Amino acid sequence: MVSLQNIKDRIGTALFNFSKQNTVGKFLENKVQLLSEKISKAFENLNSNRVSLKNRVIGMK
């Protein structure tokens, strides 16, 4: 027989696990977003440096 307290405990555990997963999910989502921004910035810098180097080489000719 399932008691009312048992049902309350199960619901409480389920809510706790959901909130924990939700928090971890948001944390990971934020980390992925930050990494994505850093990668984009790195490619922008790389392209900028490539153009700058190309212009220097053209200027030397």
- What are 11-28's pLDDT values in tens digits? 888 888 888 888 888 888
**Structure tokens of 22?**
């939700």
Given a cut of 80, is residue 2 above it in pLDDT?
A: no
Query: Sorting pLDDT into bands at 50, 70 and 90, what band is 51?
Result: confident
- What are 23-48's pLDDT values in tens digits? 888 888 889 999 999 998 998 998 89
* Predicted TM-score (pTM) of this structure: 0.56
Domains identified in the chain, total number: 1
Given a cut of 70, is residue 1 above it in pLDDT?
A: no
Q: How many CA atoms lie within 13 A of 48 on its CB side?
A: 6
Distances (CA, A) of 25 to 28, 34, 38: 5, 14, 20
Specify the long-range contacts of residues 25-31, CB closer than 8 Å, at least 24 apart.
Answer: none
Domain that holds residue 42: 1-61
